[in-house]
Amino acid sequence: MRVLTTLWTYKPHLLRTGLRIVQVHARRQWSSIAPKAEETRTEPIFTQDYVQINNAMHYKDSWTNVTPSILARTTRKLHLHPAHPLSIIRQEIENHFGTFTPLNNFHPVVNTKQNFDDLGFPKGHVARSTSDNYYLNENIMLRAHTSAHQLQGLRSGSSKFLISGDVYRRDEIDASHYPVFHQMEGFQYFDMHPTVTEQQVMADIKSQQALSASSIDLADSTLINADNPLQARHPEACVQPVIAHLKHSLNALIRRLFRHEPNLKVRWIDAYFPFTSPSWEMEIFYQGEWLEICGCGIVKQEIMDQGGQPDKIAWAFGFGLERLAMVLFSIPDIRLFWSQDERFLSQFVSNQIVKFQPFSKYPPCIKDISFWLPSEQWSENDFCEVVREKAGDIVEDVKMSQWLFAAIALLFAALVRWMVALGPYSGARTPPMYGDYEAQRHWMELTLHVPIKEWYTHDLSWWGLDYPPLTAYVSWICGVVGQVIMPKWFALYDSRGYEDAESKFFMRSTVMACEMIFYIPALVYYFKRIVKGYSLKQQDYMLMIALLQPALIIVDHGHFQYNAVMLGLSLCAFNCLATHRFITAAVFFSLSLMFKQMALYFAMPIFAFLLSQCFRQQNGFLLFVKLGIAVVATFGVCLYPWVLPVSDLLQVAHRVFPIARGLYEDKVANVWCALSVILKLKSLLSVERCIQISLAMTFVGLLPSCIDLFRKPTHQKLIYALANCSLAFFLFSFQVHEKTILLPALPILLLLPIEGDAVILFQNWAMFSMFPLLSREKLQLQYFSLFVLWNWLQQQTRPSESGSSVTRMLHAASFTIMAIWHVLQVTTPPPPRFPDLYTVTNCILSCAVFCLFYLYLHHRQFTLADIGVNLTDPVFRGVYRGKTLHA
């Protein structure tokens, strides 16, 4: 049976309702789970007041959330059934580590000290949450990992042991998750002496060499660094042999387990675990993606102290037996391991790995059920527990989706954009040259009527085309549609300055359409698919905040531009990098560069990330060649009409990079404009010298972030590096405009899950920095409306607990400074000697804030080891609007 729940959750003070409607789609799927046989074992006693299990009585309290069906699993011990797939995997691992002591009978009921305190989890840590664990009461629980018995193993007297057992975590309902699963971990310690493991290491190396004929492709490019450090109490000469011993042991185990898997790819990557350092994960390439199968590392010395072995050094690893068995036995559904159907159990024989054969001939039957849930206090796992308790394992799938909230957010975001579009725009009714609106309209006129070879040379005195070819192609498509509707809108020469209501509606519609095609889907994909580990409600709130980012709305739909196309293509590239689709990412980013040259702000971190992947992967050179071909081909297709003669290509480059315009344009909140108050470089130095200085400063500004990203190319560091490098370009590069603050605003917006308060603060200052430009275009009403609306909405969607006192102080100080500036700007005219006083003050204040953000985000990127999270990790947690969520 398949259960799909559609959950519509409302914020009571936003939509005034306290109920949720849940729609359930049920499918009977006989190929997966057969009806349960009668249980013959004595089950734990579950009453209204207490739970009795393992001859101990535990009284319930407010923490109790364990259910009878979960308690019933504690007696099954699937990992000890000789012919069960989980037991076969356990035996394989035990046979490989033949000299290790197996410890397989620890009872799953433990106290919170064993499960958390002994392993260094602080009080209040999110991993202790009742939404993720099963509690009998506040102090007693079902173990969440076999590491709860590490100290018992240490005190057993054995220097090397294996622990296996069933573990319990509240989880969603689908084919790959189950609230009860099985772990197996290994532990070995040595004397803390540099030469103690040399012989064992050499033996493992010889063992691995003996298996070198295996078709397994095993890659290890991990390094010890500040993000994955050695422990202070471990001399490098002592710990390096232990690391080598761990890796050789696990490499040999993987070769043994997957000896019959053709052309299997395995890789080591750096990781973070609270009780090991340094830490790593092993991944296999399975069904088109990398699948984590093992976590391991050097055990924290504090654990060794508690175990009475302060002078020893140890490694530990952990496997999920279900994940290994699903791959090796080709078992498609994790719940099949609990089946007592002979058609399943009879397929397996002890000490043999065979492929599972589906045994049902019945087709699925889909049914829909709808019902109401009171209040919004339940978590998704609470609902899954009710479904699991009532329907058991015949429920195949439960998915929560708040599509109504997301749809409302999208419609509301579109409404806000249209309301902004009703106002003025750049150059409205200001002949002779008008403004950006006329430029965009003219390019549609130009591409419709002028031969393509002349697009970059035709009548440059009237808004000559100065963006890359993809902008021209999009203008041509819009022009074709507009000409069909009303040819006079784009009549050659005669349409210059055309501004009737119908043409303005069409032009505004093209901006909306481009954003809906390029930017909105990429943003939705990022917050709904790339950012994981949050509830659907949290994802929707973050998406709504991102959709209503005021700076982009007022520039594209107020001022009038198509920045969302460039940003959307760049965001598509970021999403592809996060999902390891590197060639596709290269194509998307090349298209972004071909739409607007300002996408170069993101070029260096993307180059560093991809180059690092080429060095780290087994077929890195082939990847490098493919990336080069993808980039050259994309550029070639876009630039094809101007490739020959070379003078045409040079004219395109000359128009796209107008170095003659000067160091910066108007009053912009970057370093050069702020310095001009005391040092006017534009007057003191030639344009060439200014270019050289700005290039040098930009390169210096982005180099540290790129080097760090190259050394450790994680997806989270990529987002930070994109923010840092685009800020470096904005602050130090040549020919910067106020609107280019939109480029660093994008990756900083993507940090919303982990830098919530900082993201809000930056976006507010980005908006404030553009006020002089917006006020010249009479967009003050739109500016203040968006500013107030966005800050009010993000305040409504933040958790009940507010941010730290520091963040509250920073927000209060920022609002105070902005308010004072705005009041003075309206009420007190500037002195005649300094007519640009308020504009320059705005630039200096904004520049100072952006410089502080530049330093802060670098600090965050370089100290990510302290955060220990990853945007694509299924258990990723962060800091969302002041609330600590990282695990």
**CA separation for the pair 705, 724 (Å, rounded):** 7
- Give the closest residue to 467 by CA, choosing from 436, 503, 427, 508: 436
Average pLDDT taken over every residue of the chain: 85
Query: At residue 470, does pLDDT exceed 70?
Result: yes
One-letter identity of residue 879: V
Residue 14 pLDDT:
29
In which band, very low, low, confident or very high, does the pLDDT at 661 lie, cut at 50, 70 and 90?
A: low
The predicted-structure confidence for 255-278, as pLDDT tens digits, reads as follows: 889 888 777 888 888 888 888 999
Residues with Cβ within 8 Å of 535's Cβ and at least 6 positions away in sequence, in order, are 379, 380
Closest by CA position to 374, among listed 650, 756, 29, 9: 9
Residue 61 CA: distances (Å) to CA of 58, 137, 422: 9, 5, 58
- Kindly report which listed range (254-268, 452-466, 753-767) carries the lowest average pLDDT score: 254-268
CA distance 871 to 777: 39
Confidence of residue 58 (pLDDT cuts 50, 70, 90): very high
Buried-exposed string 53-81: b where 16+ CB fall within 10 A, e elsewhere: beeeebebeebbbbbebbbebbebbbbee
| pLDDT > 70: percent of the chain | 85
Model confidence at 885, pLDDT cuts 50, 70, 90, reads: very low
Question: At residue 12, does pLDDT exceed 70?
Answer: no
Are 180 and 393 contacting, i.e. CB atoms less than 8 angstroms apart? no
720/762 Cα distance (integer angstroms) = 14
Q: Say how far apart CA 598 and CA 608 lie, in whole Å.
A: 18
pLDDT at 214: 59
C-alpha–C-alpha distance, residues 222 and 212, integer Å: 21
Q: Which residue has the higher pLDDT, 151 or 211?
A: 151
Bridge partners of 852? none
Predicted local confidence at residue 868, as pLDDT: 37
Q: Using CA atoms, how far apart are residues 433 and 497, in angstroms rounded to an integer?
A: 8
- Closest to 769 (Cα-Cα) out of 625, 861, 689, 673: 673
Q: Which residues contact 386 (CB under 8 A, 6 or more apart)?
A: none
- Give me the sheet containing 289-299, strands edge to edge: 101-103, 160-168, 180-191, 312-320, 289-299, 276-286, 265-273, 217-220
pLDDT score for 880:
33
pLDDT (tens digit per residue) in 272-312:
888 899 999 998 887 777 888 999 999 999 999 999 999 99
Single-letter amino acid code for the residue at 121:
F
| Rg of the chain in Å (alpha carbons) | 31
Given a cut of 60, is residue 15 above it in pLDDT?
no
CB 478 within 8 A of CB 510: yes
CA angle 28, 32, 33 (to 5 degrees): 80
Q: Say if residue 171's pLDDT is above 90.
A: no
105 Cβ partners below 8 Å, 6+ apart? 165
Report the percentage of the chain scoring pLDDT > 90.
60
Q: On the CB side of 335, how many CA atoms lie within 13 Å of its CA?
A: 24
How far apart are the C-alpha atoms of 757 and 734, rounded to whole Å? Answer: 30
What tokens does 748 get? 């900083």
Cα–Cα dist 321/181, whole Å: 8
State the Cα torsion 694-699-702-704 to the nearest 10°: -140
Residue 760 and residue 545: Cα distance in Å, rounded? 9
Copy the structure tokens of residue 158.
């054995």
* Beta carbons of 196 and 311 less than 8 angstroms apart: no
Give the span between the Cα atoms of 350 and 222, in whole angstroms: 36
Q: Rounded to 5 degrees, what are φ and ψ at 767?
A: -65, -45
pLDDT computed for residue 406 by the predictor: 79
> Could you give the CA distance from residue 381 to residue 533 in angstroms, rounded to a whole number?
12
Domains in the chain, CATH or no CATH each: 2-31+366-401 (no CATH), 45-345 (3.30.930.10), 405-870 (no CATH)
Q: Which ranges constitute the DSSP H helices of 363-500?
A: 380-391, 403-421, 436-449, 469-485
pLDDT of residue 209: 55
Cα–Cα distance between 570 and 576 in angstroms, integer? 10
The answer to whether 79 and 167 are in contact (CB under 8 A) is: no
252 phi, psi to nearest 5 deg: -65, -40
Q: Is the dihedral of CA 749, 755, 757, 758 positive or negative?
A: negative
Peptide bond into 278 cis (omega under 30): yes
What pLDDT score does 11 carry?
Answer: 32
Return the pLDDT at 42: 61
Contact, 206 vs 261, CB < 8 A?
no
pLDDT exceeds cutoff 80 at 654: yes
For residue 643, the number of C-alpha atoms closer than 13 Å in the C-beta half-sphere is: 9
The encoded tokens of residue 258 equal 């997957």
pLDDT digits (tens, 9 = 90+) for 703-733: 999 999 998 888 889 999 999 999 999 999 9
| Mean pLDDT, rounded, for 843-857 | 96
Write down the H helix ranges in 644-686. Answer: 646-656, 671-675, 681-684
With a cut of 70, say whether residue 30 has pLDDT above it: no
- Specify whether the CB–CB gap between 238 and 193 falls below 8 A: yes
Q: How confident is the model at residue 370 (pLDDT cuts 50, 70, 90)?
A: low
pLDDT at 195: 62
Separation of alpha carbons 590 and 569, rounded Å: 9
Which residues have a Cβ under 8 Å from the Cβ of 594 and sit 6 or more positions away? 468, 469, 470, 634, 635, 638, 639
The 10s digit of each residue's pLDDT in 635-648 is 999 999 999 899 99
Higher pLDDT, 747 or 288: 747
Run of H or E residues at 838? helix 837-862
Tell me how far the alpha carbon of residue 610 is from its chain's centroid. 17
Rounded average pLDDT over 536-540: 79
Residue from 276, 265, 266, 257 nearest 318 by CA: 276
Residue 701, pLDDT score: 96
Choice among 47-51, 98-102, 358-362 with the minimum mean pLDDT: 358-362
Torsion of CA 373, 379, 383, 384, to 10 degrees: 160
Give ∠ CA 350-356-357 in degrees, rounded to 5: 130
Contact 831, 838 (CB under 8 A): no
> Picking from 593-607, 653-667, 755-769, which range would have the lowest pLDDT averaged per residue?
653-667
Cβ neighbours of residue 640 under 8 Å, at least 6 residues apart?
A: none
3-class secondary-structure state, position 365: strand
- Residues 6+ away with beta carbon under 8 Å from 98: none
Q: Is the pLDDT of residue 872 over 50?
A: no
Quickly state the pLDDT bin for 408 (edges 50, 70, 90).
confident
Cα 186–chain centre separation:
31
Rounded Cα distance between 46 and 53, Å, is 9
Q: At what angle do helices 563-578 and 501-514 cross, to 10 degrees?
A: 10
pLDDT(204) > 60 = no
CA distances from 755 to 286, 522, 550, 571, 879 (A): 33, 20, 18, 18, 6
Q: Cβ atoms within 10 A of the Cβ of 290, count?
A: 15
Q: What are phi and psi of 596, to 5 degrees?
A: -140, 130
Residue 376, phi then psi, degrees to nearest 5: -120, 25
Phi first, then psi: what are they for 174, rounded to 5°?
Answer: -165, -170
In the β-sheet with 19-28, what is the strand arrangement from edge to edge?
365-374, 19-28, 2-7, 400-401
Position 879 confidence tier, pLDDT thresholds 50, 70, 90: very low
Q: In what order do the strands lie in the sheet with 50-53?
A: 45-46, 50-53, 56-59
pLDDT on residue 208:
53
In this predicted structure, the answer to whether residue 752 has a pLDDT above a threshold of 90 is yes
Give the DSSP letter of residue 736: B
Antiparallel, parallel or unpaired: β 45-46 and 19-28: unpaired
What pLDDT, in 10s, does the model give residues 825-840? 999 999 999 999 999 9
Helix axis angle, 780-796 relative to 403-421, nearest 10°?
A: 160
